[in-house]
């Protein structure tokens, strides 16, 4: 089994409980405040794979071996080249009929991803995602439903969808794409529904900026 496959392995109840114990220890030592603890603990008990557990204790000391101590995540050099894999996508589509779907965290966006919602909703969060190619196409069909696409800063977004008593929303900012960043083309059809696109910082970057602001206020 390759190292890259390890994060996709299913976690057990014992794995989740070991991560929860690390979080409780961090709370007792003052490494986490109550809000952070609650968020991470909730995520730990909802986690299905080792890859979902790993980020919850990555910045915490973990005495002994834990469920995530052996999870080896791909090392990134900080550039977009590390996130354009040239491989296959984690999944090629999603459907929500009177229900919902989401793709978030570490996943690989395929060259073409198709999704359909009928009186339901979906979220595609690309902030932590890898990309199978330099350009990926996301085709959305929303009928009395909606799809929200979240992209990180620097990614080029092209919206080509058609809305009939519905809409395809463009990102609010018009910042130029970063060199080497992937291009995300969003198309499809919305009838009494909508497809929205928004830019958000990755969670790690938001946390870093929050901590920096806290340190600046303390000076």
d(CA 205, CA 186): 25
77-114 pLDDT, tens digit per residue, is 457 888 998 888 888 999 999 999 999 888 999 999 99
51 and 86 fall within a common domain: no
pLDDT at 160: 92
Domain ranges, residue 169: 80-199
DSSP strand pairing (135-143 vs 100-103): unpaired
157 and 195 fall within a common domain: yes
Domain count, the chain: 2
32 and 89 fall within a common domain: no
| Residues in Cβ contact with 36 at an 8 Å cutoff, skipping those fewer than 6 apart | none
192 and 97 fall within a common domain: yes
Residue 217 lies in a domain: no
88 and 20 fall within a common domain: no
32 and 133 fall within a common domain: no
d(CA 134, CA 86): 8
Residue 74 lies in a domain: no
pLDDT at 78: 52
53 and 96 fall within a common domain: no
Q: Which residues of the chain have pLDDT under 70?
A: 1-8, 62-78, 174, 205-206, 211, 216, 218-219
Residue 188 lies in a domain: yes
29 and 127 fall within a common domain: no
pLDDT at 113: 97
139 and 179 fall within a common domain: yes
């Amino acid at each position: 089994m390759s190292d890259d496959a390890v994060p996709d392995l299913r976690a057990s109840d014992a794995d989740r409980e070991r991560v929860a114990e690390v979080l409780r220890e961090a709370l007792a030592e003052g490494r986490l405040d109550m809000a952070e603890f609650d968020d991470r603990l909730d995520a730990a008990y909802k986690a299905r794979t080792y890859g979902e557990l790993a980020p919850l204790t990555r910045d915490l000391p973990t005495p002994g071996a834990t469920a995530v101590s052996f999870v080896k995540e791909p090392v990134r050099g900080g550039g977009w080249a590390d996130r354009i894999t040239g491989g296959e996508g984690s999944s090629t589509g999603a459907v929500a009929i009177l229900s919902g779907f989401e793709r978030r965290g570490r996943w690989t966006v395929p060259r073409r991803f198709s999704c359909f919602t009928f009186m339901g909703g979906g979220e595609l969060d690309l902030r932590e995602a890898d990309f199978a190619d330099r350009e990926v196409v996301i085709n959305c069909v929303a009928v009395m439903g909606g799809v929200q696409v979240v992209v990180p800063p620097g990614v080029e977004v092209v919206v080509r969808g058609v809305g009939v008593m519905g809409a395809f929303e463009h990102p609010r900012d018009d910042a130029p794409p970063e060199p080497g960043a992937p291009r995300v083309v969003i198309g499809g059809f919305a009838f009494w529904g909508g497809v929205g696109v928004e830019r958000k910082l990755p969670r790690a970057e938001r946390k870093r900026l929050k901590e920096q602001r806290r340190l600046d206020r303390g000076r």
